[in-house]
Amino acid sequence: MLSDTDVLKQIGLNFKLERIRKGLSQEGFAEVANVHTSYIGKIERGEQNLTVKKIIDIANSLEMPISKVFYFE
């Protein structure tokens, strides 16, 4: 069973991997997602509790399928 912390960390990692794959810095990602750079850092470290709406907004800003956001190994 996954904890909420595990889920947030995995979502953050999935966003980070997609950001890197797209060649974006955290600053570039923040600009595309229309959020502050520190917010991106918190997401990628699994420290930010995200709403479903924010997950969708961020995924759309990266042109990332939702299935990749919620990918767990």
Check which CATH number belongs to the domain holding 43 and give it. Answer: 1.10.260.40
Domain extent for 20 = 4-68
pTM value is: 0.94
54: left (phi over 0), alpha (psi -120 to 50) or beta: alpha
**Residue-wise pLDDT tens digits, 41-63:** 999 999 999 999 999 999 999 99
The 10s digit of each residue's pLDDT in 2-23 is 899 999 999 999 999 999 999 9
**Which 8-state DSSP code applies to residue 50?**
P
Report the domain count for the chain.
Answer: 1
